[in-house]
């Protein structure tokens, strides 16, 4: 069987499964999700064994420490995956919700009802926990899922899905065996073949870097919701509380630098720079953070800062996913907003200030999916937003935006209930 035939079969199987899923009661879905969660924990040794193979291959191929961290599965992360499935099970079924209702003068009753999208292809890099998060959310919303993870996580993704499917089939005989599938090849042409099958595939959600997003959108013939890179900013205003600013910056950059909601650029008000930059530099140096700075920032930093480079234009666009931070001095909140809207990726931004009018301006004028006042960008996450697991962070404006949970994985249809009405 050639690649085109293989992808065609995968998509046809998913379409058939999606129709069966649309009729699956919420109680059955929840039982399946709880069984999946239990199975992941019960088989954690198998999962970590498969993941160890991926990690060894990643180290051999030269993956950065941050990328290896994204790839790693340990007991804590497997427990988090299982917890995410249980949280999804506890959420209301999004399908079947009445979104709107109206009755026309002729008595015709119209209802707008949330329905599953159908077949969703999820393309992602590195983090194997995405397999469980994406599959569980799509499944709860009544969608069949085709997962295409990065080649570096193939063994991990396969064992996660195999474990979940086996548990689902035991918990619910009506579970369609092809409700969750993994693309079994790392051949890049598989994506092009799969995303040409508009008769079977309803939506593609790519999560990853600029190259991945561009490649998917250029080749796809099905609709795409982009989960673009996270060039996230924190702006420290003149009226910021120093202690608060320090803690937010360190959290946003250092806690987990290899994720999309980590800060990549720090903007500091010019009036504050002489006093604040030396202070935050000491904290960042202790955390082994490399700084890439403009001339105004460099003038305020210690000459012996251990890792210091002059920023280039490319640094303002960069998603480092590492302990590297671009730093720029700006002339007030207006200049900060202008910088973010020019160089940002539309993901997550924060302002640290005690001035409400500046905060209001920042919140209103920054064109990103999530904007914070006096909080870390690290909160842009489905779990932190109370969605349970998430499918990802959409940086699109049409359709879902920001963290995508269950409700964002449904579409709708209109139902008309009449008593013999005809149009005159």
Helix (H, G, I), strand (E, B) or coil at 378: helix
In this structure, what DSSP letter does residue 117 have? Answer: -
User: Which pLDDT score is estimated for 397?
Assistant: 86
The CA distance from 314 to 320, in Å, is 11
pLDDT per position as a tens digit, 6-31: 999 999 999 999 999 999 999 999 99
At 309 the three-state DSSP class reads strand
Helix (H) or strand (E) holding 56: helix 44-61
Q: Does the pLDDT value for residue 365 go beyond 90?
A: yes
Q: Which helix (H) or strand (E) holds 86?
A: helix 75-90
**pLDDT exceeds 70 at position 389:** no
Instruction: Check residue 388 and give its pLDDT.
Output: 66
CA pair distance 319, 173, nearest whole angstrom = 45
Of 344, 315, 345, 341, residue with least CA distance to 328: 315
The CA distance from 398 to 379, in Å, is 22
Q: Are 201 and 11 in contact (CB under 8 A)?
A: yes
List alpha helices for 175-221, DSSP H. 189-194, 210-219
Question: What is the per-residue pLDDT for 120?
Answer: 97
Q: Does the domain formed by 3-228+395-417 have CATH 3.40.605.10? A: yes
Identify whether the C-beta of residue 245 lies closer than 8 Å to the C-beta of residue 253.
no
> Between the CA atoms of 279, 281, 282 and 285, what dihedral angle is there, to the nearest 10 degrees?
170
Per DSSP, the three-state class of 135 is helix
Spans of all domains in the chain? 3-228+395-417, 232-379
CB 318 within 8 A of CB 325: no
Residue 190: pLDDT over 70: yes
- The pLDDT value recorded for residue 150 is 85
Cβ-based neighbour number of residue 283 at 10 Å: 15
More confident residue, 424 or 340: 340
- CATH class for the domain made up of 232-379: alpha beta
For 171-176, the CB contacts below 8 A with 24+ separation are: 171/31, 171/32, 171/34, 171/35, 171/36, 172/24, 172/28, 172/31, 172/32, 172/35, 174/20, 174/24, 174/28, 175/24, 175/28, 175/32, 176/16, 176/17, 176/20, 176/21, 176/144
| Mean pLDDT calculated for residue range 311-327 | 96
Contact criterion met (CB below 8 Å) for 208 and 327: no
Number of other CB atoms surrounding residue 21 within 10 Å:
27
Q: Is 380 exposed, middle or buried (0-12, 13-18, 19+ CB in 10 A)?
A: buried
- Alpha helix positions (H), 151-264: 154-171, 189-194, 210-219, 242-254
pLDDT score at 104? 96
- Assess contact for 125 and 394: CB atoms under 8 A: no
Strand partners, 236: 268, 352
> Would you tell me how many other CB atoms lie within 10 Å of the CB of residue 84?
24
> What DSSP letter does each residue of 389-424 carry, written as one string?
S-SEEE--SSS--EEE-SGGGEEEEEEEE-SS----
| pLDDT per residue as tens digits for the range 56-101 | 998 998 888 878 888 999 999 999 999 989 999 999 999 999 999 9
pLDDT tens sequence across 212-237 = 888 899 999 999 998 878 999 999 99
Place of tokens 């930093």: 301
Which residues fall within 8 angstroms of residue 178, CB to CB, at 6 or more apart?
Answer: 13, 14, 16, 17, 144
Question: Reading across the β-sheet that carries 263-269, which strands appear in turn?
Answer: 308-310, 290-293, 324-330, 263-269, 232-236, 348-352, 370-373
Q: Give CA separation, 32 vs 38, 167, 367, 389, in Å.
A: 10, 7, 39, 16
Mean pLDDT across the chain: 93
Share of the chain above pLDDT 90, in %: 79
| pLDDT, average across residues 305-318 | 94
**Spatial separation of the C-alpha atoms in residues 364 and 90, rounded to whole Å:** 34
Mean pLDDT score, 138-167: 94
């Amino acid at each position: 069987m050639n690649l085109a035939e293989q992808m065609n079969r995968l998509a046809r199987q998913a379409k058939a499964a999606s129709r069966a899923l649309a009729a699956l009661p919420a109680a059955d879905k929840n039982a399946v999700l709880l069984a999946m969660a239990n199975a992941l924990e019960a088989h954690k040794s198998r999962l970590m064994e498969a993941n160890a193979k991926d990690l060894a291959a990643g180290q051999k191929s030269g993956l950065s420490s941050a990328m290896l961290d994204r790839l790693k599965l340990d007991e804590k992360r497997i427990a988090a995956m299982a917890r995410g499935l249980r949280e999804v099970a506890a959420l209301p079924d999004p399908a079947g919700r009445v979104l709107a209702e109206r009755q026309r003068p002729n008595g015709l009753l119209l209802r707008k009802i949330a329905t599953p999208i159908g077949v969703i292809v999820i393309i992602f890099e590195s983090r194997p926990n995405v397999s469980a998060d994406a599959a569980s959310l799509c499944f709860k919303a009544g969608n069949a899922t085709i997962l295409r993870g990065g080649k570096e996580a193939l063994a991990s993704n396969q064992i996660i899905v195999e474990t979940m499917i086996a548990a689902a089939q035991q918990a619910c005989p009506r579970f369609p065996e092809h409700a969750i599938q993994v693309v079994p090849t790392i051949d890049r042409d598989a994506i092009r073949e799969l995303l040409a099958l508009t008769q079977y595939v309803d939506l593609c959600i790519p999560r990853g870097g600029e190259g991945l997003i561009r490649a998917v959108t250029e080749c796809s013939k099905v609709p795409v919701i982009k989960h673009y890179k996270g060039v996230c900013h924190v702006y420290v205003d003149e009226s910021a509380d120093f202690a608060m600013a320090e803690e937010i910056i360190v959290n946003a950059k250092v806690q987990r630098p290899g994720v999309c909601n980590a800060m990549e650029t720090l903007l500091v008000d010019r009036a504050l720079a002489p006093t604040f930059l030396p202070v935050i530099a000491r904290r960042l140096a202790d955390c082994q953070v490399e700084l890439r700075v403009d001339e105004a920032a460099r003038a305020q930093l210690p000459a012996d800062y251990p890792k210091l480079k002059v920023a280039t234009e490319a640094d303002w666009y960069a998603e480092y996913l590492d302990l590297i931070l671009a730093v720029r001095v700006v002339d007030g909140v207006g200049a900060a907003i202008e910088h973010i809207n020019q160089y940002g990726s539309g993901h997550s931004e924060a302002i640290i200030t005690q001035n409400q009018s500046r905060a209001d301006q920042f919140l209103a004028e920054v064109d990103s999916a999530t904007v914070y006042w006096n909080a870390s960008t690290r909160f842009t996450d489905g779990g932190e937003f109370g969605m349970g697991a998430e499918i990802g962070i959409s940086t699109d404006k049409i359709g879902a935006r920001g963290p995508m949970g269950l409700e964002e994985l449904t579409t709708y249809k209109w139902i008309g209930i009449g008593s013999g009405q005809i149009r005159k």
